[in-house]
Structure 1
Amino acid sequence: MSFQLIANDRAMILPNNRPHTTVVLAMSADGKIADQGRSPARFASPADKDHLEEQIAAVDGVLFGAGTLRAYGSTIRVLKPQLIQQRYQKLLPPQPVQIVVSASGNIDRQLSFFRQPVPRYLLTTSHGAKPWQNKTEFDQVIVCQASTKSKINWINALEILSAMGLKRLAVLGGGEIVAAMLAADLIDELWLTICPLLLGGNNAPTPVGGEGFREIVAPRLELVSAKVIVSEVFLHYRRQREDDLSTL
């Protein structure tokens, strides 16, 4: 079974000093991206895994939190030969940069992630950078510290990534990172896959964590497309900004 709804496509005007960002997440029908124990989410179908690989193949960098890395132990690589060939045709390396976000820098060096053949960056604070000084696990350690020293300065971070040549980023979670980037108006698109199960749990993580938004200031979205494949729904949203709303 397949159904697709596509909205009118309008060009998106972005600031020149940051990458285009796309959140890509799978969630349960009740909006959870993992169970209450924060176990690795294995509920997505092969169709969603193909979709995720396609999204990763289309970007220069993949950004995710240390909690996500700890849960899975590794990252998702581009493996399909046709996707790798498409990257070569665009003069891109076979794998996008994998950017781990960790304010503390507390990451186990024994994770299989560090043995995968991918470029690796660490986005951290000055405190989090200390354990990785003179180490080779990360190709780049980027320090972007907010005024509260335990947090990342997201605007500065994306400016630096753009200056390093990363023009398109896929954001794979977790919800706290998505919330922080939304609060700084740094998310442009979202791909959300709704999977046919219910997880429940007051503490189970959702696509947007943090303290939440009051309805009056909540980020607004425009539905670009919706597709049903068997029992999963693939939703593609564009972030609406004031300039978009003024033209409606």
Structure 2
Amino acid sequence: MSVDGKIADVSRAAARFGSAQDKAHLERQVALADGVLLGAGTLRAYGTTLRVQQPALVTQRQQQGKPSQPVQIVCSRSAVISPQLPFFRQTVPRWLLTTTVGAQGWQDGDSFERILTVETAAGDIDWQAAFRQLWGFGLRQLAVLGGGTLVGSLLEANLLDECWLTVCPLLLGGASAPTPIDGPGLMAELAPRLQLLDVSTIDDEVFLHYRVRKVRKF
């Protein structure tokens, strides 16, 4: 994110202001995951997902008994996604996490290897039920690559354990520019607190690693 907390500029185009070190850092985190969650808006902006490409990381996964690529799980209530995106030509396993309505347009094709439908009475994705299903499929460690709406939903559902942030040396501004956590937001007295686990700097970027202190819900 930028120093002023934006993950893209006001146009919401794909953010490519991170350094090569930042991308390598992200790839290392993805390589540790069994599955990667990304929202439809993020997929539309980038057109692709981040594959594990460093040979050492691919070998590391294979030595751990994992497939060379984690499952890429697109999360979208409506699942309105263009099948022409380059994402659908990448050599990665693709799943769709959506609602009954969102699944209708994808049932007859082979764009996704698996389609999961879990929803609340209001027609939103039921995140607790979704995570139970993912656990049942053997996905123990998940990475969330954004965007802010997806992160906000998972934070509200108390499903985030750790937070990795790279602060990049630029200022973007813009009242409508997206932040790491979008959605309705949280009041300060209800906001989860973070425990700083690690901080490092490379050139002008700051790499932060936090643990999310879990919120007890009564």
Verify same fold: TM over 0.5.
yes
Q: Cα distance, 1:241 vs. partner?
A: 2.6
Q: CA RMSD in A?
A: 0.9
d(CA) in 1 for partners of 2:121 and 2:197?
A: 36
Aligned to 1:153: 126
1:45 aligns with: 19
Alignment of 1:81-230 (within 5 A): 81-149=55-123, 151-230=124-203
Cα distance between partner residues in 2 of 1:120 and 1:104: 17
Looking at secondary structure, tell me which structure has more strand per residue.
1
Counterpart contact for 2:158–2:215, Cα < 8 Å = no
Residues of 2 paired with 1:80 and 1:241: CA distance? 34
Structure 1 counterpart of 2:9, from 32, 35, 45: 35
Report deviation, 1:190.
0.4
Structure 1 segments of 4 or more deviating over 4 A?
none
CA offsets 1:33-61 (integer angstroms, 9 cap, x no match): 00111011010000000001000000000
Residue type of the alignment partner of 2:96: L
SS of the residue corresponding to residue 11 of structure 2 reads: coil
Structure-1 separation of matches of 2:215 and 2:95 = 33
SS at 1:47 equivalent: helix
Provide the C-alpha distance between the structure 2 equivalents of 1:219 and 1:28, rounded to a whole number of angstroms: 22
Q: For 2:37, which of 63, 68, 72 is the aligned residue?
A: 63
- In the alignment of these two chains, the number of paired residues is 216
Deviation, 1:242, is 5.7
Distance in 1 of aligned mates of 2:214 and 2:96: 30
Mapping 1:3-22, distance limit 5 Å = none
- Could you say what secondary structure the match of 2:211 adopts? strand
- Residue 56 of structure 2: SS of its match in structure 1? helix
Q: In structure 2, how many angstroms separate the alpha carbons of the residues matched to 1:142 and 1:90? A: 26
| Runs of 5+ unmatched residues, structure 2 | none
Identical-residue share of aligned pairs (%): 54
TM-score, scaled relative to structure 1: 0.86
Letter of the structure 1 residue corresponding to residue 172 of structure 2: L
Q: Does 1:235 align with 2:211?
A: no
Q: CA deviation at 1:240?
A: 1.0
The answer as to whether partners of 2:192 and 2:215 remain within 8 angstroms in 1 is no
Q: Out of 54, 69, 76, which is 1:80 matched to? A: 54
Q: Deviation per CA, 1:145-178, whole angstroms, max 9, x where unpaired?
A: 11211x1100000000000010000001111111
Q: Distance in 2 between matches of 1:177 and 1:39?
A: 17
Q: CA deviation at 1:105?
A: 1.3
Q: Which has the higher contact order (CA 8 A, sep 6+)?
A: 1
Residue 104 of structure 2 aligns to a residue in which SS? Answer: helix
- Please list every run of 5 or more consecutive structure 1 residues that lacks an aligned counterpart in the other structure: 1-26, 244-248
